[in-house]
Amino acid sequence: MKSLHPPRPGRLLWALWLLSVLSASSVCAWRLKAADLRVYYAAARSYFYHSGPMYGPNDVFGWPMFYRYPPLFLCLFRPFALLPLRAAAGLWAGLKVFLLGPLLRMWCRRFIAPARLLPAVSLSALLLMPYFVHELESGNVQLLLVELVCFALLLGDEHPFVSSLLLGLTAAIKIWPAFLFPYLAL
């Protein structure tokens, strides 16, 4: 006979994380706003599948919705352009929420005592939730870059090569991570 034990906290957190990923993917695919994601999607489809221009007006968007990122980002975004727009929006949002799980785990293990974990994460979530929801709705690449920079900073001591690759990748997509290079050189 099975005894009734409450689930371990690790399993509960894992289930909440998985539920968050699925919820974000579903909501972002269902309520498709994603103005920035549409630009990435249209530019990738225009360039890779219709031999259109990478920059400037394309078949879907004209001014002011031009694609503004380096070619590397468009190449990395190409698999999403293979999918229908709603599926791409859902996977894009799901990827960003998915990466939050390991990032929060690494951050909490390194910086927060177990007794302060719940208040710290709750307060942070409460303060950042409006920005997080807006970022998921717009489909911008910014949250993904912030997550990759945070991974790079957390991995810097144990895995400097991986850390430098992540920082280089983010700086190749947007310039602001390069501002960390002088700080890290010290």
DSSP string across 77-99: HHHHHTS-HHHHHHHHHHHHHHH
* Residue 90 pLDDT > 80: yes
| Under 8 Å between Cβ of 38 and 139 | yes
Q: How far apart are CA 163 and CA 149, in angstroms?
A: 8
* Residue 162 pLDDT > 80: yes
Q: How far apart are CA 136 and CA 134, in angstroms?
A: 5
Q: Is 129 helix (H, G, I), strand (E, B) or coil?
A: helix
Comparing 40 with 1, the larger pLDDT belongs to: 40
Q: State CA 90 to chain mean position distance.
A: 12
Q: How far apart are the first and last CA of the chain?
A: 61
Long-range CB pairs of 105-108, under 8 A, 24+ apart, other chains included: 106/151, 106/154, 107/150, 107/154
pLDDT on residue 125: 82
pTM of the model: 0.82
pLDDT on residue 185: 76
* Residue 2 pLDDT > 90: no
